[in-house]
Amino acid sequence: MAAKTSRPSQFASLEFILGACLTTVICLAVVFSDVLFPGGADKIDLMARLTKPFVSAAHPLGTDPLGRDVLARVVAGGKISLLVGFTSVIGAVVFGVLMGLIAGYYRGFWDMVVMRFADLQLAMPFILLAITFIAIVGGSLTNTIILLIISQWVQYARLVRGSVLTLREREFILSARAIGVKDWRIILQHLLPNLIGPVIVLMTLNVANNILLESSLTFLGLGVDPTIPSWGGMLADGRTYLQTAWWVSVFPGVAILLTVLGLNLLGDWLRDSLDPTGRTSR
Amino acid sequence: MAGFLIKRLLQAIFVVIAITLIVSFAIRLTGDPAVMMFQGGGSMTEEDLMRIRAELGTDKPFLVQYLSFMQGLVTFDLGKSFVGGTPVARLIGDALPATLMLAFVSMAVSIALSIPLGIKAATSRGKLADQVIRVFSLVGLSFPNFWLATMLVLLFAITFNLLPPSGMSGPESFIMPAVTMGVILTATNVRLVRTAMLETLQSQYVMVARAKGLSESKVLYKHALRNCAIPLITYFGLQFGGLLGGIVVIERVFNWPGMGTLAFEAVGARDYPVLQAVITVLSLMIVGINLLVDIAYGLVDPRIRTE
Using CB atoms within 10 Å of the CB of residue B216, give its burial: 0 to 12 exposed, 13 to 18 middle, 19+ buried. Answer: exposed
Cβ contact A100:A161 at 8 Å: yes
- Say yes or no: B25 contacts chain A, CB-CB below 8 A: no
Nearest to B195 by CA among A85, A61, A277: A277
- Nearest beta carbon to residue A131 from set B15, B139, B279: B279
- Interchain contact, B19 vs A124, CB within 8 Å: yes
How close is the nearest chain A Cα to the Cα of B54, in Å? 23
- Interchain contact, B147 vs A122, CB within 8 Å: no
Phi-psi region of B203 (alpha: psi -120 to 50; beta: other; left: phi over 0): beta
* pLDDT attached to residue B305: 63
Q: Which is more confident, B40 or A47?
A: A47
- Interchain contact, A250 vs B151, CB within 8 Å: yes
Average pLDDT of the residues in A15-24: 92
Q: Is the pLDDT assigned to residue A57 strictly greater than 90?
A: no
Please state, in angstroms and rounded to a whole number, the distance separating the CA atoms of residues B80 and B90: 9
Contacts of A2 in chain B (CB under 8 A): 199
- Interchain contact, B144 vs A212, CB within 8 Å: yes
The predicted-structure confidence for B259-307, as pLDDT tens digits, reads as follows: 999 998 888 887 888 988 998 999 889 888 888 888 887 777 766 665 4
How close is the nearest chain B Cα to the Cα of A179, in Å? 34
* pLDDT attached to residue B96: 95
Report residue A4's pLDDT band, with 50, 70 and 90 as the boundaries: very low
**Cα-based angle A234, A238, A244 (whole degrees, multiple of 5):** 150
What is the percentage of chain A residues whose pLDDT exceeds 90? 39
Please state, in angstroms and rounded to a whole number, the distance separating the CA atoms of residues A62 and A44: 13
How close is the nearest chain A Cα to the Cα of B144, in Å? 6
The predicted-structure confidence for B90-130, as pLDDT tens digits, reads as follows: 999 999 999 999 999 999 999 999 999 999 999 988 888 99
* Whole-number CA gyration radius for chain A: 22
**What are the angstrom distances between the C-alpha of B125 and each of A11, A149, B193, B215?**
13, 37, 13, 19
Who's near B229: CB < 8 A, 6+ residues apart? none
- Interchain contact, A125 vs B287, CB within 8 Å: no
* pLDDT attached to residue A82: 94
- Interchain contact, B11 vs A212, CB within 8 Å: no
How close is the nearest chain A Cα to the Cα of B45, in Å? 26
- Mutation test of the interface with chain A: which of B124, B142, B235, choosing the one with the most A Cβ atoms within 10 A? B142
Cβ contact A176:A133 at 8 Å: no
* pLDDT attached to residue B37: 67
- Interchain contact, A256 vs B147, CB within 8 Å: yes
- Nearest beta carbon to residue A260 from set B142, B154, B290: B142
- Nearest beta carbon to residue B290 from set A2, A123, A250: A123
* pLDDT attached to residue B60: 80
Contacts of B153 in chain A (CB under 8 A): 242
Average model confidence (pLDDT) across chain A: 86
Cβ contact A68:A233 at 8 Å: no
- Say yes or no: B105 contacts chain A, CB-CB below 8 A: no
Average pLDDT of the residues in A134-151: 91
Ranges A106-120, A159-173, A257-271: which has the least confidence: A106-120
- Nearest beta carbon to residue A120 from set B15, B30, B125: B15
How close is the nearest chain B Cα to the Cα of A56, in Å? 23
Average pLDDT of the residues in A72-88: 93
ipTM of the modeled complex: 0.87
Average pLDDT of the residues in A265-277: 80
Report residue A92's pLDDT band, with 50, 70 and 90 as the boundaries: very high
**Cα-based angle A150, A151, A154 (whole degrees, multiple of 5):** 90
Number of A:B CB contacts under 8 A?
142
- Say yes or no: B192 contacts chain A, CB-CB below 8 A: no
Average model confidence (pLDDT) across chain B: 86
* pLDDT attached to residue A188: 87
Q: Is the pLDDT assigned to residue A206 strictly greater than 90?
A: yes
Cβ contact A72:A255 at 8 Å: no
DSSP bridge partners of B80? B87
Report residue A113's pLDDT band, with 50, 70 and 90 as the boundaries: confident
Which of B11-15, B29-33, B71-75, B88-92 shows the highest mean pLDDT?
A: B88-92
Using CB atoms within 10 Å of the CB of residue A209, give its burial: 0 to 12 exposed, 13 to 18 middle, 19+ buried. Answer: buried
* pLDDT attached to residue B140: 93
Please state, in angstroms and rounded to a whole number, the distance separating the CA atoms of residues A242 and A229: 18
The predicted-structure confidence for B205-218, as pLDDT tens digits, reads as follows: 888 888 888 888 88
